[in-house]
Every structure is written in C-alpha cells, then in structure tokens.
Amino acid sequence: MNQPPPSPTVDPMRRRLSLAAALLAAAPLGNLHAAPRAASPTRTPSSTRAGSSFEANRSIQAGDLLVHYVDAGPADGPPVLLLHGWPYDIQTYAEVTPLLARDGYRVIVPYLRGYGPTRFLSANIPRNGQQAVLAVDAIALLDALQINRAIIGGCDWGARTANILAALWPEMVDGLVAVSGYLIGSQAAGENPLAPEAELSWWYQFYFATERGRRGYDRNRREFARLIWRLASPKWQFDDAIFDRSARSFDNPDHVAIVIDNYRWRLGLVRGDPRLDEIEARLARMPAIGVPTITLEGDANGAPHPPGGSYAKKFAGPYEHRELGGGIGHNLPQEAPAAFASAVRDVAAMGDSSAERDDRRRSLAGWSALAFR
C-alpha cells in the first residue's frame, strides 16, 4: 500500500489552483471549532462493541461547515475517507470502519452537509447541494485534518464526490473505491431524456422538482427514506433498529433544503454557486480518472445506476470492477461490509510497487498485533 507522506502540514498552493480554494477562502476563518482530542494508539468508535451504535467522535470546522465525523484507527495510519449518500448516513460504514481500523488504517467518516449533527457555520451560507460543493466540502475536511492524501471511498452521492476528487485532484487520492462506478454528471447531461422505464426509476427527482414534492419530503422524511431503502435494496432485510439509526440524521434542519437543491440542480432548475462554475465546466467534460480504482456493484441494486461495463473506459489507471452476488443492493458498504473493506485494502496495493506493498503489509501486521494482542 502507498503510505501517505508524513507531512504535518498541507501544501496550500495545491488547493489554491482551483475555484475550490476560492470558495474555501470565502468561508469563515478559523480551523477548529472543537479540536480533535489527543490521539490515542487506536481511536475506535463505540460501534465496534456489540449492540452499540456508530457515532461521530470528533468535530472540526471545515470550510462552510462544522463537520461531525468518525475518526477511527491509528492517527498515523494510511488515511481513508468514506462518504455516504442519500438517504443514508455514516451508518453505511458502521461495519466497514472497524474492519479497516483493525488493519491499521485511519478511517474518517463524516456526516455530509444536511445530515446528522453537521451544521453550517452561518445562516447566510446558501444551502447548496450541487455535486461540486460536496467535493469542496471533502477537500475542506481533508485540509482541516491536515491530510495530504487519502484513499477515497463512496456510495451514492459519496461515490460521485469520490469520483470528482479522483478526477480533478488526483494528487490527493491514493486510491478510489466507488459503488456503481463513474457517476460524474452535468446539467447539460440532465437535459437529455431517457427511455420511459429509466425515467420511471428517477420518479423522486421529478417529485422533488415541485413545491408539493418539497413539502411532501419535509413532512415524510422517514417514510420516504424507508421506501427508497426498500426499492434500492429489495433483498436487504434491514430491521427497524438499523433504519432508525440512520433516520435520525434526516432531522438535520438543513436536510430537506440540501436534498431538494441537489436534485433540482441536476435538472437545471437551480443556478448553483457561480464560484463553482469552473469546476462544473471541467466536470461536464466527463474527465477520465487515472488513480488506482476498484468499482463495485451489487446484483440486486434497485436504484438507477449505469451498467457495470459501461464506464470502464473512464478509468485510465489501474482498474478493476467487481460484481457482488447474493442479493446485494444499492447501499453496498452496509450490506456487504467485508467486500467493501477488501476493496479498500486492494486498491491501496494496486498503486504500490512490490517492495512498497511488502513493507506496508509488515507495517500493518505489526500494528494489528500490537493493537489487538
């Protein structure tokens, strides 16, 4: 695996090469709202204990947000940033996280804007949900944590954000693990009509385009999310306790605004932040991704998604696609945590030379023996 450089600071010039940095610079100043507590040899959230919940154990000011996040594993381990989607939350990675932390990775799992305890720093900040701003949020978090490079993994919205970081900021990404492959989009692409059956699968996007849809989602957040879970993962036998642990995140006061803006932006119904226009223009060209990548797809994904073989040419570097059987649906990391964690380990090795890989394996083996003897 490719060990990230042990630099205590982030090179500020790298971030200033894009409009993302301009947006971050416009955000309120100050790096820490609540400084991370002193690192212990392992920082494992309570979810690793049977019967307990998976909860954020850190918070930090990053860009426009006070981000609450899970930080697990050794502080000096290879960083892994895991990003959730809609209508899900950090529970997507509740079982993935301890698997990776036990192997010596430092795992960061943030609540996105509009989810859980994450909050905007000001009432005056637009509640924007377009694809570029979610990527800017991820950059801001990595900067605040002084992480130069990381493996990025994602599902649903999180996979799209991971795609964007890998495509536009490859110097930050040691490897990419993305459920459903290449998901970068554009408003221009959103103007193209699909076949009727494909349009039907996007019914909620058209519902959200209306005021009735906004009010309906606001009034029925939990019912709506439960329906999407059933449709997107028809064979996943989740119980009320599993659902309720995520559903609490939708009580965030900005949740509805972010979700509605995200889907309306895709249809060109809202303008988006003009400071992100250059980034969106680059994304509209559908850039190839050159970092080591593993894409994953479940055999029972009921959500709209591209066919597994349709996007292989978008990955120009070391690449592998994995199809999972056994009734795995859209929320793949939560339904098949071992397979997702394995992909994270393997994508790290894809970018290593043999000597680096052997050194890394010895290092992680030593950590595991020390932490769990």
- Residue-range domain boundaries for the chain: 12-35+42-372
pLDDT tens column, 144-158: 999 999 999 999 999
Residue 52 binned pLDDT confidence (cut-offs 50, 70, 90): low
Identify how many contiguous H helices and E strands the chain contains and give both numbers: 16, 9
Segment 17-32 shows an average pLDDT of 43
Rounded average pLDDT over 24-33: 39
CA distance between the termini of the chain:
23
Q: Who's near 349: CB < 8 A, 6+ residues apart?
A: 1, 357, 360
With cut-offs at 50, 70 and 90, classify the pLDDT of residue 359: low
Asked whether the predicted pLDDT for residue 36 surpasses 50, the reply is no
Report the mean per-residue pLDDT for the chain: 87
Dist CA 269 CA 267 (whole Å) = 5
Helices 221-232 and 211-219 sit at what angle, rounded to 10 degrees?
Answer: 100
For 254-282, the DSSP string reads: THHHHHHHHHHHHTT-S---GGGHHHHHH
Give the per-residue pLDDT at 351.
79
pLDDT tops 70 at residue 200: yes
pTM, to two decimals:
0.86
Report how far residue 28's alpha carbon sits from residue 220's, in angstroms, rounded to the nearest whole number. 33
**Element (H or E) spanning 137, and its range?**
helix 131-144
Distance CA 128, CA 125 (A): 8
Pick the residue with more confidence: 283 or 367?
Answer: 283
pLDDT for 294 equals 98
The predicted model gives 185-206 an average pLDDT of 96
Q: Residue 20 — pLDDT band, cuts 50, 70, 90?
A: low
Mean pLDDT of 335-346: 98
Query: C-alpha dihedral over 104, 105, 106, 111, to 10 degrees?
Result: -130
State the Cα–Cα distance between residues 357 and 294, nearest whole angstrom. Answer: 17
Class of the domain covering 12-35+42-372 = alpha beta
Q: How confident is the model at residue 53 (pLDDT cuts 50, 70, 90)?
A: confident
Phi-psi map region of 104: left, alpha, beta (phi>0 left; psi -120 to 50 alpha)? left
Strand partners for 179: 296
Find out whether 103 and 92 touch, Cβ atoms under 8 Å: no
Using CB atoms within 10 Å of the CB of residue 48, give its burial: 0 to 12 exposed, 13 to 18 middle, 19+ buried. Answer: middle
pLDDT tens profile 262-306: 999 999 999 999 999 999 999 999 999 999 999 999 999 999 999
Residue with tokens 């309120």: 28
Q: Is the pLDDT of residue 195 over 70?
A: yes
